[in-house]
Structure 1
């Protein structure tokens, strides 16, 4: 029985520190010493809470050792890099040089163009009457095209871009494989002896994925280097990072550039497409909400133009509908 309510909070506090400890400390021994120092907080429940925290910490460390090292360039990305000077440098690069307002505003024309392209494709489908449309693939291609044009200045999915589409499929397959590996449970994390025989081929799949990822990202970088000065890639993310590499080679290495490409692709494509699909599904399943959102658009946005990001601020009902 618990003697004080605070003891329950203390019991959950240390396990919740696991992720912080993992990022900041590289040694199990240091982490365990810190947890031991907190024994007074737990009183009679100290051992159980500490064992839970240590077990979770070891499982996270073991998973990251296999998964974080290979596809993510030896822990050099924002996802897997330990907290320190390198991680702060990555955050600075991301905040100031990639996701700053100035850099994002430079890509607004890309957003408009890709959304218009999607609407034209939908119009062609509906030209002869109502038809079923699989939105997930369309949204995936939309988000993928926007991100790739921002990074490399090239559209991968278009009615006429067959060659680029083949390369785009390779990228999408890579992202799909990454997510499957990331969410799957690996028995070797719990029974280390299974790692000796690579149970279920998990480690081999990670190594294969790492090779494919490195090949694709290095190809993008090499293409930019060979086409240096081309106006079509003047404002792309890779061009900007390569110019930084010339002036700050120690802060913008080849591994860092490849890692940033991987993180943006993996974090920005399927996640955004799924969010759009879910939002559309909710609107279609609640026609009264859809009707009110449409009425707000007709009232506050000129019907002769597409809705742009700047218009969202004056559409409170649409914002609430998208976030609930």
Structure 2
């Protein structure tokens, strides 16, 4: 039985030192196990060199062609997304204005944990965590749960074609599956966005971004907002749509 990856990397670190490189097919991966080296790598000018993400298949179809804050390469677009997150989503004033939502979510979570402490149905707790305690549209809830699960699985380093592009010549079932999942998630987020757009009196993160869209429609496009919704999961919950399903 193969050891977990982190233990295998620990063995390599003990043998080769606190920093070493590996070849994942055509990609080079650098492994750092020293805190001081990590700090050195992500401070000064080195952080710019190491800040970009690899252009993987899942980020292409689920991350709107590598344009979300978690998948975009370092550059003007990523810096603008960071500015939006810092000023419009995660600023002190913005977080304070949505304090009641976080308090309500913590209260709900504690109630669910207390109620389900002896339950083995983790899937049910997960679904309720996104859809509230009273789920009317269970089919939609299950669909969303599966989407989140599939994206999590596809986002892990399990697509050999990301590292051996030549394999694409032999067909790519994985790519078709990721495309379908990305399309389904986009449709879900678009429905959520449209519901928030119709809620003129809503006071949510999404409605705030939609108000900015009216001022700068080209910059705050639907794709940009949906990418931010996906990257900051709490934004999805701030719209009451999910609790009304």
Common fold: TM-score over 0.5: yes
- 8 Å Cα contact 2:229-2:236 kept in structure 1: no
What is the SS of the residue equivalent to 1:251? coil
1:157 matched to 2:129? The reply is no
Which one of 127, 130, 133 corresponds to residue 119 of structure 2?
133
- 8 Å Cα contact 2:98-2:204 kept in structure 1: no
Residue by residue over 1:191-217, the C-alpha shift from the partner in whole angstroms, topping out at 9 and shown as x without a partner, is 333212335x21111101111111011
What is the SS of the residue equivalent to 1:162? coil
Q: CA deviation at 1:111?
A: 2.8
Alpha-carbon distance in structure 1 between the residues aligned to 2:187 and 2:174: 20
- 8 Å Cα contact 2:61-2:182 kept in structure 1: yes
Q: CA deviation at 1:116?
A: 3.1
Report the counterpart of residue 11 of structure 2 in structure 1: none
Q: Which runs of 5+ in 1 are unaligned?
A: 1-7, 25-59, 126-130, 146-155, 270-324
Alpha-carbon distance in structure 2 between the residues aligned to 1:262 and 1:238: 11
Cα pair distance change 1:11/1:238, threshold 3 Å: closer
1:208 matched to 2:183? The reply is no
1:220 matched to 2:195? The reply is no
Please give the residue correspondences for 1:1-324 in structure 2 after superposition, counting only pairs within 5 Å. 16=30, 21=49, 61=54, 64-121=55-112, 132-134=118-120, 136-137=122-123, 140=126, 144-145=129-130, 156-159=131-134, 161-163=135-137, 165-199=138-172, 201-225=173-197, 227-229=198-200, 231=201, 234-265=202-233
Select the structure that is richer in helix.
1
Select the structure that is richer in strand.
2
* TM-score, normalising length: structure 1: 0.52
Alpha-carbon distance in structure 2 between the residues aligned to 1:203 and 1:122: 37
Residue by residue over 1:132-154, the C-alpha shift from the partner in whole angstroms, topping out at 9 and shown as x without a partner, is 23485576457x44xxxxxxxxx
Residue by residue over 1:217-261, the C-alpha shift from the partner in whole angstroms, topping out at 9 and shown as x without a partner, is 111111122x242x3xx2111111111011122321111111111
Alpha-carbon distance in structure 2 between the residues aligned to 1:174 and 1:254: 20
Residue by residue over 1:59-114, the C-alpha shift from the partner in whole angstroms, topping out at 9 and shown as x without a partner, is x74xx242221111111111121212111110011111111122222222223333
- 8 Å Cα contact 1:241-1:252 kept in structure 2: yes
* TM-score, normalising length: structure 2: 0.67
Once superposed, what is the RMSD of the aligned Cα atoms? 3.6
Alpha-carbon distance in structure 1 between the residues aligned to 2:224 and 2:83: 12
The higher relative CO (CA closer than 8 Å, separation ≥ 6) is in: 2
Report the counterpart of residue 241 of structure 2 in structure 1: none
Cα pair distance change 1:268/1:183, threshold 3 Å: farther
Q: Which runs of 5+ in 2 are unaligned?
A: 1-16, 22-27, 31-40, 238-245
Give aligned pairs, total: 201
Report the counterpart of residue 40 of structure 1 in structure 2: none
- 8 Å Cα contact 1:97-1:103 kept in structure 2: yes
What is the SS of the residue equivalent to 2:232? helix
Of structures 1 and 2, the larger Rg is shown by: 1
